[in-house]
Amino acid sequence: MSSLTAFIIGAGANVGKHVAAAFKDKGYRVALASRNPDVDALKKEGYFPVTLDVQNIESVQGAFAAVNKELGPPSVVVFNVGSLERPPVPDDPLSLGVDGLAKHVDVSLAMFAAAQEAVAGFRAAANKDAKRTFIVTGNPLPWAIAPPAMMVGLNIQKTIKWRIADICAAAYAKEGFRFYFASLVGEDGGIPNPLSDFFTSGPQHAQVYLDLITREEQADWDYRFTLDAKQWVKK
């Protein structure tokens, strides 16, 4: 296990921080990427810090190159990046500028580029016996009924990621590569209520992600879980 590498893109204080700690405790060498990493602090905590701008595909590719060189190709990649620019008129989704929507879509393109780099690393000899896994931090917006107009950009962004995860889970199953769109949901399977539950759910995300990367078989690619870190099942 000590030879395996995990790469977490999006090193925020909620999900990113807790997932990184859980993976490190499991024995993974962990690389953490963000736009402006605190290099010294992260190194002291035992992580490999990487600068990455999700608005720049070359930055994504360069970040993977740095991780591959320093730690070896990751067998686990977590894409934990999202962005939200609200339309100036909250109930008018088309008041969001095209440039604003493009920024949301750029994050989805960065996830696509990260998946390309991840699969290349999954095929490396160093990972031939690893449980090679790509996890996207999701949310219920792609399947929400009457989603909020003010979240039009984030909705489109997450829906693109959702579909990429679906396609990749099927396409790469024959190679044993696992893809997940993992989402914290409310008891009804929709948006958590209160929404603030998400912002303190780092420990639950860490528990779920650790289960997904250590299990023997692929679980549901569209993996929905509740605040108790258990898989949500429609009743």
pLDDT in tens, 161-214: 999 999 999 999 999 999 999 999 999 998 888 888 888 899 999 999 999 999
- Domain of 97, CATH number, reads 3.40.50.720
String of DSSP letters for 90-156: TT-GGGS-HHHHHHHHHHHHHHHHHHHHHHHHHTSGGGTTS--EEEEE--SGGG-SS--GGGHHHHH
Q: Structural domain tally of the chain?
A: 1
Q: Report the first-to-last Cα separation within the chain, whole angstroms.
A: 38
Secondary element (H or E) of residue 26: none
Q: Provide the pLDDT for residue 1.
A: 46
Mean pLDDT over 7-33 rounds to: 96
Residue 235 included in any domain: no
In a domain, 233, yes or no: no
231, part of any domain: no
**Residues spanned by the domain of 82:** 5-225
In a domain, 139, yes or no: yes
> What does the pLDDT average to over 118-132?
97
Q: Can you tell me the mean pLDDT for 24-53? A: 96
